[in-house]
Structure 1
Amino acid sequence: MDDQDLAASSTRAEIFDDLLAAREMLDDVSNDLVEAVWVGGSFVTGVLDPDDIDCTFVINGPAFKALPSNRKRSHVMDFNKRGWLRGKTGLRVESYILIREPVANPFQGGGIHPDAINYVSVRGAWDDWWMRVRTNPDKTSAPVVEDAEPKRGYLEVSWK
């Protein structure tokens, strides 16, 4: 936010504060949940005034499973619903959830270990998703195969 080219932004500081508020909401469920956040979308580009911040909260799997109720787990998973956070709270955060599962060795016999398939598939899908650049500026348009080539990175922020 100190970048001279972005200093004139009328939205970035507030959107970043919204991200911190979303993080606090997850911390209110359990301080052990959020390990990192992957930030992508227009907020990590040169767009002067992005509309929101797109992110995937990386959640500690054992801490998530240890939550004392289904209601708390369900609340965490609400963050994985497109548009939920903004609709519910007004925060300009498009959030998603990745439950990180500790796996000693994800490989087995030249492939993926059966115990790791779901987790590494979801993690890989998010990695792939955040490296794309949308060719259609209409955010409501469906993804197209032309956007599938990796063209950028994303920002990973570690919270621990």
Structure 2
Amino acid sequence: MPPLPPFVADTLCPPPGRYPMSWEEVEHSLVRAAALEASSTRSGLWAELQSHRALVECLYGSVARIWLAGSFVSGKLDPSDVDLAYLIDADVYGRVTEPDDIADLANLSNREWCVKHGMRIDAYLLSLPATVDFRDLGTVGAMAAGDSEVFQTLGLYDDIWQRCRPGHGHRRGYVEVAL
């Protein structure tokens, strides 16, 4: 996969867009890169993210993709947390029905709970659409029930992950990790 492009000078973020990277490339580019090796937070955040991901995968069985954003996906030396969205295949997303598992997932997507439990993680759990053949999207009745809302939610998060804090007036890029 191509590397993450250079950060834009005035935002320290990647240019707008979604950049595919492997899990190993994320670690190399955003944790172990020479320009970030003096960070006092990145290694710890990476370890916390790995633990968080393992917990989410234990409950779902699998995660299809992860969108990483925020200051962790920037040139900021010491980000304070990791912002991410787990994208879960539709058939897997709906499979979690045990009340304890649902409560655990709610906790894992609650920033305050995560921080209280030693993970500086701000995570969202999103379903991917059940419709996998793009040719079905324009055919009336061919798209899976509920997929219209799923596509709207994914579009919303795509837009959110590309926004900078107020006052910066710029858009930024984020990373997509296929698992």
TM-score by length of 2: 0.71
What residue in structure 2 maps to residue 125 of structure 1? 156
What residue in structure 1 maps to residue 48 of structure 2? 18
Deviation at 1:69, TM superposition (A): 1.6
Could you list the per-position Cα deviations for residues 100-133 of structure 1 after superposition, in whole angstroms to 9, with x for gaps in the alignment?
A: 1321433346xx9874211001000000000000
Match of 1:6 among 36, 39, 61: 36
1:1-160 → structure 2 map (5 Å cutoff): 1-32=31-62, 34-87=63-116, 89-103=117-131, 104=133, 105-108=136-139, 115-135=146-166, 151-159=171-179
Unaligned runs of 5+ in 1: 137-145
Root-mean-square deviation over aligned CA pairs: 2.3
Deviation at 1:82, TM superposition (A): 4.1
Identity of aligned residues (%): 26
Unaligned runs of 5+ in 2: 1-30
Q: Summarize the Cα distance change of 1:66–1:41 in structure 2 as closer, same or farther, 3 Å threshold.
A: same
One-letter amino acid of the structure 1 residue matched with residue 159 of structure 2: D
Larger RCO, structure (CA 8 Å, separation 6 or more): 2
Deviation at 1:20, TM superposition (A): 0.6
Q: Distance in 2 between matches of 1:9 and 1:26?
A: 27
Q: Distance in 1 between matches of 2:97 and 2:71?
A: 36
TM-score by length of 1: 0.78
* Structure 2 SS opposite 1:157: strand
What is the total number of aligned residue pairs between the two structures?
Answer: 144
